[in-house]
Amino acid sequence: MTEKSADKAASEANERSQAFELLARIFRENASRYKSRYAVAIACLVVIAATTAFSAWIMRDVIDEIFVRQRSELIGIIAGSIVLAFAIRGVAMYGQAVIMAQIGNDLVARYQQRVFDKLMSLSVDYFVEHRSGQLAARLSQNVSAIRDVLSLTITAMARDLLSLIGLVAVMFIQDWRLTLITFLVGPPLFIAIAYITKRSRTIVRQSVTVNARVIGSLQEAVQGISVVKAFTMEDQLSKRISKIIREAQMRSDKLASVTQRLSPISEMLGGFAIAGVVAYGGWRTIEGGQPPGSMFSFITAVLLAYEPAKRLARLRVKLEKAMVNASMIYEIIDMEPRQRDIEGATTLQFETPDIEFVNVSFSYADGTEVLSGVNFTAPAKQVTAIVGPSGAGKTTIISLLERYYDPDEGQILIGGQPIGEVTKASLREAMALVSQSPYLFEGSIRDNIRYGRADATDDEIEEAAKLANAHEFIAATPSGYDTLIGENGVTLSGGQRQRLSIARAIVRNAPILLLDEATSALDNESEKLVQDALETVMRGRTTIVIAHRLSTIRNANKIIVMDRGEIVEEGDHQALTKKKNGLYAKLHALSSAGELPTVEHAEDADRNNV
Ligand code: ADP
C-alpha cells in the first residue's frame, strides 16, 4: 500500500468510526427516555416481520395441500390463518407507525429546544460570524435528521432485518442449498453500497450547505425588503439568488444520480437471484419430481425478502445523509461559549454605580486595535456622553460594558468591582440598553415591554409606558397592550418603536443605562416625545450615551470625545467648545439640524472646517 492510499484508508476508517460514534451518541442521549415506547414499537415490528415470514411459509401448504393434494377441509383453516395474519399485521403496522411518529416529534421538539438554548448561551461574536438566515435554515433542515437517524435504524433493524432473518429461515427450511446460492448476490451488493456511501458523503454536506444558503438568502431579502425596494435591487438580488438556487439544484441532482445508482445494481442482482431460484427450482421439480410446494414457498420468501433487503441496502446511504445533518446539529450543541464566567464569579454588588475604564485596549477577531489605552470615569447617576467621528470606537465601549467581548488589556470597573470577575447575568441585570434600532420581538406590546424584567406587573408596565410617552399610542391600538406586534414591529412607526424600547428600559429599573442614540430619521414631534422619554429614563441613573443630538450632549454632565480608539478630549460642553482647535469644537462648528456631523475621521472635520 502506498503512503497516500494508506492515508486515504485511515481517513475513511476514521470517518466510519466517527459515524458510528455519532450514532452511538444519539442512541445514548435518547434511547433511555423512550425505552418503553420503543419496546412497544419494536414488538410491533417483530410482529410485522413474523407475519411476513408466515405468509411465505404458508405457501408450501397452499400449494401442496390445497392444489396438489386437493384437501378441501384445509382451505378454511389456511384461508382463515392468512386473514388473521394480515389483520394482526395491520394493527401492528398502525401501532408501530403512530409510536414512532410520536417519538420522532418529541425528539425534534427536544433538539429544537436544546439548540435554541445553546444558541442563546453563545456569545455575540458567534452571531457576528454566522448569518442568521442560514443558521435558521440549517436548524430546520438538520433537526429532523436526528429523528430520521433513530427511526431509520430502529425500523431497519427491527422490521427489515428481522423480516429478512425470518424469510431466510423459511428459505433454509425449504431448501438450504438453494439459499446458499442466493447469498452469492451479497458480496457485489456490499461493494456497491460501500462505494455509493463514500461518494455521497461529501455531496450531502455540500448540498445541505447550499440549501441553507438558499433559504438564508430568501430570509435576508425578505427581512431587508424596504432596502431592496429603495435601491431597486430586485433584479440584482434575483440574479444572485438564482445562481445559488441553480447550484443547490445541481447538487441535489448530483446526489440523486449517485444515490440512485444503487437501484440498477440491486434490481439486477435481485433479478439474478430470483431467476436463478426459478430456473433451478423449476428444473428440480420437473426433472426430480419434487412436490412444487416447498419451491413455491421458497420463491415467495425470496420475493418477499427482496424489499427488506433493498431497504437495508439503502439504509446505509440514507443514514449517511441523516448523519451528515445530525453532525451539523451536534456541531452547534457542542460549541463552547468562548467567553464564560470565571470560576467563582460573584454577583455584581455596588453602592455607587460609577463606571470606570482603566487602560482598556481591545481588538476584534481581525486583530486591528479598536480601542487603545482608554481611561475614563462615568460618575454615578450622571450622564456621560461619548461623541466622535464614526468608527472611533464608541459602540465598542458599550459592547465591552455589556461584556459581549472582553478587553485585551486593562479593566472595567462598576462601583469599584471589575466586571470580568462577576457573573454576566448579574452584570447585565444592572444595566438597561436602548439601542439605535429598537428590536421588537414576536408577541404583544405588553410582552415586549416585559422583556425588560420578567416579573414586572401589568401596572408597572403601564406606568413605564406612560413615562416613555408610549401609553397614548398603545391605548389607541385595537387591543391596547395586548396588540400583537408584527415581525420587527412593522405596524409601528420608528418613534413608537423607540418609545417602546425606552419603556422596556424603564421597566428594567436598572441603575445603569446604556444608550445608543439614533441619528435623525425621526420627525420633529416624534423626536421631541422620544427625547422627553429619554430624559425621564436617564434621571437618577448612571447613563452612558453615544450621543449625536446637540441637546443631549449639551445637557450631559460630561462629554468624552473619541477618535480612532482613543479619548482625545474630556469635559463639559462649555469647556470643550472653548478649546481652540479641539475636535469637539470643530465638530460643534460643523453641526447642523441639532446634530453633530458623522464624519469618518478627525481630518475630515478639519478639511470641512477650512
Ligand atoms: P463607532 O461606534 O464609533 O462608529 P465602532 O465601535 O462601531 O465605532 O467601531 C470601531 C471600529 O471597530 C471600526 O473600525 C469598525 O470597523 C470596527 N468594528 C466594529 N465592530 C466590529 C466587529 N464585530 N468585528 C470587527 N471589527 C469591528
Q: Alpha-carbon distance 187 to 41, whole Å?
A: 32
| Residue 392 CB–ligand 1 contact under 6 Å | yes
| Residue 519 CB–ligand 1 contact under 6 Å | no
Give the nearest ligand 1 atom to 389 CA: 3
| Residue 343 CB–ligand 1 contact under 6 Å | no
What pLDDT shows up at residue 87? 94
Please list, in sequence order, all residues whose beta carbon lies within 8 angstroms of the beta carbon of residue 566, skipping any fewer than 6 positions away. Answer: 371, 372, 373, 374
Q: Which of 390-399, 450-459, 523-532 has the lowest mean pLDDT?
A: 523-532
Q: Alpha-carbon distance 313 to 194, whole Å?
A: 10
- Averaged pLDDT score across all residues of the chain: 84
| Residue 598 CB–ligand 1 contact under 6 Å | no
Nearest to residue 404, comparing CAs of 126, 97, 27?
126
Q: Is the pLDDT of residue 431 over 90?
A: yes
List, for residues 213-256, the tens digit of each pLDDT value.
888 888 888 878 878 888 888 888 898 889 999 999 999 899 88
The alpha carbon of 370 and the centre of ligand 1 are apart by a number of angstroms equal to 7
What pLDDT shows up at residue 600? 58
50 and 166 Cβ atoms separated by less than 8 Å: yes
Q: Is the pLDDT of residue 605 over 70?
A: no
Q: Is the pLDDT of residue 323 over 90?
A: no
Q: Which of 206-220, 494-508, 519-533 has the lowest mean pLDDT?
A: 519-533
Nearest to residue 386, comparing CAs of 164, 136, 568?
568
Probe target for ligand 1 pocket from 357, 364, 366, with the most ligand atoms within 8 Å of CB: 364
What pLDDT shows up at residue 562? 92
Probe target for ligand 1 pocket from 395, 401, 548, with the most ligand atoms within 8 Å of CB: 395
CA-to-CA separations, 472 to 133, 488, 492, 499, 513, in angstroms, rounded = 35, 21, 13, 11, 24
Dig out the grid coordinates for 87 from the structure: 389483520
Q: What is the mean pLDDT of residues 551-563?
A: 89
The alpha carbon of 391 and the centre of ligand 1 are apart by a number of angstroms equal to 6
60 and 297 Cβ atoms separated by less than 8 Å: yes
What pLDDT shows up at residue 607? 54
pLDDT tier at 610 (50, 70, 90 boundaries)? very low
List, for residues 161-197, the tens digit of each pLDDT value.
888 888 888 888 888 888 888 888 888 888 888 888 8
Between 360 and 207, the more confident residue is 360
| Residue 394 CB–ligand 1 contact under 6 Å | yes
Any idea which residue has 442482482 for its cell? 269
The alpha carbon of 369 and the centre of ligand 1 are apart by a number of angstroms equal to 10
Give the nearest ligand 1 atom to 562 CA: 3
pLDDT above 70: percentage of residues in the chain: 93
| Residue 202 CB–ligand 1 contact under 6 Å | no
Q: Alpha-carbon distance 59 to 295, whole Å?
A: 9
Give the nearest ligand 1 atom to 128 CA: 23
CA-proximal residue: ligand 1, atom 14 (nearest): 391
| Residue 390 CB–ligand 1 contact under 6 Å | yes
List, for residues 374-395, the tens digit of each pLDDT value.
999 999 999 999 998 888 999 9
| Residue 370 CB–ligand 1 contact under 6 Å | yes
Q: What is the mean pLDDT of residues 513-527?
A: 74
List, for residues 52-91, the tens digit of each pLDDT value.
888 888 888 888 888 888 888 888 888 899 899 999 999 9
The alpha carbon of 64 and the centre of ligand 1 are apart by a number of angstroms equal to 86
